[in-house]
Amino acid sequence: MKHDFLLPPPAYQQPRIKIRTILGHCLYRRVIIWTVTILLLLGITLFSGGGLHATTDRVLDFVDFGKKEYWGGMVAFRKQIKASGTLLSQDNARVPAKTESEPPHWLKYRHLDGYFNGLKALVSPSSYTPEHPRREGDESPLPLTGDYTELPTPTPFGFQPDYSSPAYRENHYQVRTCYLDPNDQIPAPSLYAYNGIVQGQPEPVIGSHSLLGIRDDICWDRFGRYGPYGLGYGEEEGGIYEGTDIEKEGNEAVWSQSGRINYNSIDWAEVQARCHEKNKERFSPPDEDQSLSTLSSAFAHQDQDLPLHQSLHGSTQPPHLRALDRTAVVIRTYVGFQWTQHAVLNFRAMINELSLRSAGEYTVHFLLHVHDDDYPIWADAEVAQQVLDDNVPAEFHGLCTLWSEAQMRLLYPPGGEEDFGEAVENPSGQDVHGVYRSAHMPLQHFALTHPEYAHFWNWEMDMRWVGDYYELFDRLGRWAAGQSRRELWERNERYYIPAVHGSWENFTALVHRETESSGRRAVVGPVNFAGRQNVRSEEQGRPFLPASCAAGSDPGLCGVGEEADLITLNPIFDAEDSGWVFASDVTGYETYFDTPPRRVSIITASRLSRRLLAVMHEETWRMRHAMFSEMFPATMALHHGLKAVYAPHPVYLDREWDLDVIDRSLNSGRDHSASGKGSPYDYDNEHNHKGTSWYFNSEFAGLLWRRWLGYAQMDGRGPGGGRGGHGTLRGGKKEEERPGGTGRMCLRSMLVHPVKWEHPAELLLS
């Protein structure tokens, strides 16, 4: 049933009560009247203003692209709910809203200190003891004792294959080195890391480095990570100036080979184009069959179903050499985004590590949302250039693709929003073509116009990676391809907590037992439901399951070696009864049927295959179906039998939680998962993510990142457990240079989100 966004309180007329009656001398009368009045007012407070579905403090940064308008609406929405004191759950049962009088349970846990020890406390993996979680019987390594005076030396690292090795050359085309300059004098620089782990640094509680093939025996300081891109030297030398006024002992080592590179006149579009041109024979040719009617048929077959010498596009290469598929990294930005020097560093790093050092395997793009639908950004080159000049640093101009919501209304479909039909619910009140509800639409169109890419990473401006981007994206892709489809959806809906679940094999066995005991059938291929429609490739008898899943095959090998159509960085959960605020933001399906089955992964950062985007495009354009941005990709994979994988990357906690409480809080839903009733994504449960290093509402992620950059931060400590932004100013130059201290921080590889600001001056400017 569709509820109005806000409903007026019910009409009510209070009985006339004379003032002298209320204030009269009869004590019993006064007690009765005041009691009735209080109960009456309480009832009005609790039961008026109905029709509110839920609220959220979130504004998705990838969809800000209009942040002022959307944020204002959501703030008003939140204020109304706080005023009414109630929420409506998925079954319309009233539940009390969170109040400040109910502090989160995790405030009772002690803050962890091991993150903030520095380089001088570096030890070998065999001597390392984490502060948390610790093995039974291990003593806490903190506080550290000893005299820390030795500063270790960083080592250059590369995470791409050894392109010159005989083993690589035997099966691949020659790789030609990419340079920053047109004269091939300045090669893409190396990153520097430290061998070892800082003593006492906590282990990730969720996910695992080693499971994904990411190194966990090295750590990164800010200069080894960003020094090659301009951190630590001034603009007169081609740097960014940031990092010259913070602790920097020994940072010269990171420029020992490359020198301080001058980035003042760089054009990254030209750099990437030159790199690809040199190496274009390495890659599969573009898929030229890109008409609207056939897009969903692209990539219907997988690599393992073809001879080694035949690409996905059907062209033939020399039989002894393998052509690679290319991947686009599409970063969502918008008019009005405030670029900073640290943001520039981050995207220089991404281009260098993903594109140049891989010799063109990845290409970085920016998808720039123009809010004003009246801007003639396609008809007037000067207007488009002015948008770029006003909103993007010049070095990135050539990487930008401009788009607007007016363009999406022309594409999906010509008739406008009314052609989509009524939404089951629309909690945000936004347009179905708007970026808040349908951020995937411009990505679908981008894929349509870029047939050269097989996969598309959807990325956001406020995400950071401590480590080498190539190691992250390459290892995620390899691990996902190796996953069996057997009980994959069931593994996807659970958090993997190694200290609780043990090895991945133990976790897989646990999921199998829980699936069997639940009485639910495991999902393997496409799901059937009332009103389901086939896309054209299915109509043509070409389903998306690979040959390894054919009848009679080993179920455990189903999908092994198959590239994932969707890789997410949070669990993929069942939206039904989950309490997630946008669970019923479903548009265009016949309302006399039950709402289709839906899957969601919070945070849109993910890798999508061309064929998944093709299915999404056809469902949007041909069938006029739409769902909320974080729900549509995973749901389309579920409906049509595409391979979706949650990759359990390392996620850290800021406090010393009891391990069983972590499991109960995050796998709190149906059948010990993140799905259904009790889900950690229920509005009342999402606070459990505030102390993690990766979630949209995290209070810890930004604090940890800024401390790592070398800036003092309020440590979040204090009475009642403390919260983000409270406590004592800690870290920064003075503390890192303290005699007897351990120096600047050195973290193992981790994703950090959200990072809303980096240099303290940004707060003053905002």
User: What is the tens place of the pLDDT at every residue in 461-512?
Assistant: 999 999 999 999 999 999 999 999 999 999 999 999 999 999 999 999 999 9
In a domain, 250, yes or no: no
Q: How many Cβ atoms are within 10 Å of 305's Cβ, its own excluded?
A: 14
In a domain, 584, yes or no: no
Give residue 418's pLDDT band: very low, low, confident or very high (50, 70, 90).
Answer: low
Q: 637 Cβ partners below 8 Å, 6+ apart?
A: 565, 566, 599, 612, 643, 644
Give the pair of three-digit tokens for residue 43.
Answer: 């009832």
The count of domains in the chain is 2
- Mark which of 61, 96, 131 sits at the end of a domain: 96
For the chain, give the longest Cα–Cα distance. 103
Q: At what angle do helices 610-621 and 440-449 cross, to 10 degrees?
A: 120
Answer whether residue 342 shows pLDDT above 90.
yes
- State which amino acid sits at residue 451: P
Give the pair of three-digit tokens for residue 282.
Answer: 């390495």
In a domain, 551, yes or no: no
Residue 60 to residue 43: CA distance in whole angstroms: 35
In a domain, 371, yes or no: no
Please say whether the dihedral angle defined by the alpha carbons of residues 590, 595, 600 and 603, taken in this order, is positive or negative.
positive
Answer whether residue 422 shows pLDDT above 90.
no
Residues 326, 454: contact at Cβ < 8 Å?
A: yes
What mean pLDDT is predicted for residues 726-730? 90
Answer whether residue 633 shows pLDDT above 90.
yes
- For 197-229, write each residue's pLDDT tens digit: 999 999 999 999 999 999 999 999 999 999 999
Residue 483 to residue 562: CA distance in whole angstroms: 8
Give residue 419's pLDDT band: very low, low, confident or very high (50, 70, 90).
Answer: confident
Q: What is the pLDDT of residue 226?
A: 98
Answer whether residue 50 shows pLDDT above 80.
no
Answer whether residue 283 shows pLDDT above 90.
yes
What mean pLDDT is predicted for residues 311-332? 76
For the purposes of burial, counting CB atoms within 10 Å of the CB of 541, is it exposed (0-12), middle (13-18) or buried (19 or more)?
A: exposed
In a domain, 560, yes or no: no
Going by the DSSP 8-state scheme, the letter that residue 444 receives in this structure is H
Domain extent for 32: 19-96
In a domain, 128, yes or no: no
Residues 643, 559: contact at Cβ < 8 Å?
A: yes
Give residue 378's pLDDT band: very low, low, confident or very high (50, 70, 90).
Answer: confident
In a domain, 232, yes or no: no
Residue 202 to residue 141: CA distance in whole angstroms: 10
Residue 303 to residue 289: CA distance in whole angstroms: 18
User: How many CA within 13 A on the CB side of residue 111?
Assistant: 19
- Mark which of 96, 119, 153 sits at the end of a domain: 96
Give residue 64's pLDDT band: very low, low, confident or very high (50, 70, 90).
Answer: very low
pTM for this model (two decimals): 0.85
**Mean pLDDT score of the chain, rounded to an integer?**
86
Q: 461 Cβ partners below 8 Å, 6+ apart?
A: 61, 62, 331, 332, 333, 337, 343
Residue 732 to residue 371: CA distance in whole angstroms: 38
Answer whether residue 102 shows pLDDT above 90.
no
Residue 293 to residue 281: CA distance in whole angstroms: 29
Going by the DSSP 8-state scheme, the letter that residue 331 receives in this structure is E
- For 164-177, write each residue's pLDDT tens digit: 999 999 999 999 99
Answer whether residue 45 shows pLDDT above 70.
no
- For 555-569, write each residue's pLDDT tens digit: 999 999 999 999 999
Percentage of residues in the chain having pLDDT higher than 70: 82
599 forms beta bridges with 574
Q: 484 Cβ partners below 8 Å, 6+ apart?
A: 555, 556, 557, 558, 559, 560
- Mark which of 67, 96, 125 sits at the end of a domain: 96
Q: What is the pLDDT of residue 149?
A: 82
In a domain, 266, yes or no: no
What mean pLDDT is predicted for residues 671-690? 97
Give residue 12's pLDDT band: very low, low, confident or very high (50, 70, 90).
Answer: very low
Residues 369, 498: contact at Cβ < 8 Å?
A: no
Q: 622 Cβ partners below 8 Å, 6+ apart?
A: 535
DSSP per-residue string spanning 229-267: GTTTS-GGGTS-STTSSS--TTGGGGGTTT-----TT--
Give the pair of three-digit tokens for residue 651.
Answer: 């996620």
